[in-house]
Structure 1
Amino acid sequence: MRYLLIMCAALVASMAQAEPKAEFKRTLFPVGKYLVLNGTVYLTKGAENVSRPGQMGLLTGRRGLSGGLIQNGFANVTTLQNVTSSNGWVFEIDGKDLAKVSVGGTVSSGDAIETLDLAADGNISRNMNKNAAYKGILLYAADWVEVDRHIKRLWESDTARNYLINNDFRVVDSVLYATGYTGGGQLKVDGTANLDGSGGGAVGSVKVKTTANADKTYSISLADDSVIAFSARHLCWRDGQFAGTAPDVIGEKRPKSCPAYDD
């Protein structure tokens, strides 16, 4: 009986530590292709033009009757400098779902990690294992008060005002990167990601640890081509002035607490 209790406790512990899984969803409302992770819906269309949290640009796509429901892309405008990423977390995505959302088959890679396999060339378009579960990394902006300060300074300096007041303008808050790591070993992000300021090419790096060896730290280099999904925030306006940001929840209207620009 004692042995059974120990085994049950171990099973519960392993389930509690299990990495969440991102799943591809094609929905009718809202219409489009998305990734769902921990109950949150992330945009996949336009992810090829996103590289890091703090990027700013326009959601593009169809308009008219379906305009509020269908967003087909993201047009980058600028990247806020010195936006700090939080720790983020590691998730899994099945190869069959990764094949649907990865534009070029590019994945982030880095150090050899015990208990995990790694695609050697950083590109899995030709040899993607659709039966395998690939590791992914989600990073998000850590300090939205500071991000809002950056945007306010842009507004007050009269920089890119025509973009800022556009109802389709967004600031990226979360970014999902696919990696070439597969296998049963579990990873955990260790510390704040080191992101460069440009938001292009080699985005930066993130440190991870494994549950198998908590004393050793590994580095994964994040590539902009490995972004598979993202989420963004509205810009809010009051009395013709920038007043902060609010989450853009897929399938929901702009919150009343975040008015659009109305000069």
Structure 2
Amino acid sequence: MLEVRDLHSGYGDAHVIRGVSLDVAAGEVVGVLGRNGMGKTTLIRSIMGLAPPQIRAGSISWRGESLIGLRPHDIAARKIAIVPQGRRLFPSLTVTEHLTMLKAARARSGWTVERVFALFPRLAERRNHRGGQLSGGERGMLAVGRALMVDPQLILMDEPSEGLAPVMVQHLEGIVLDLKREGLSILLVEQNLYSALAVADRLYVLETGRVVHQGDAATLARETKLLFQHLGVQ
């Protein structure tokens, strides 16, 4: 479904993404791991058409159609949604307003407000609270719920576990697996190795804008466990 080939992008004179290639198939969760400054967010912004960065070479295609040069709202219209780093909510808007800005409250097909509330009962309880009044976990739920309101087939998640308590990270992992069972494809950018291993089918590791490792998550999980055992880490 999503194919990125030999992508180069960056900001001004800064060449951040250096020849990245990756794929996300239908109904697959693909993780992108890496430390801060390795190009993960630049990759997500390049796919979504957000400026900056500027794409210098390579290709990004969705269902065989090039996304390069399309505006973000045109990409969203192709059923691609984003959960941005930091959630990017509006402090003055209520939970319900965040959800209905993308689809009318009366909508009865696809993802609806009530369907999002069924997935996130806590948001239903907070439906009249403003974005600035929500906890970190509630903001994370709302960012995912807002993305679902475009009825996506692919969701780009940029550091969704950032700043969350461990119990909320586990809850988020359960939501990602629920969405996978719904048939959604997810490109998950994470620093949290264990969270990514808990949900991803395959993983790519970025270092200074390049893919330095890729493979299925189960194999990486076994290798990580053996390494930690060797080092005496529980």
TM-score tier after normalising by the smaller chain length: under 0.3
TM-score w.r.t. the length of structure 2 is 0.25
Greater helix content: 2
Greater strand content: 1
Which structure's relative contact order is higher, taking Cα pairs within 8 Å and 6+ residues apart? 2
The structure with the largest alpha-carbon Rg is 1
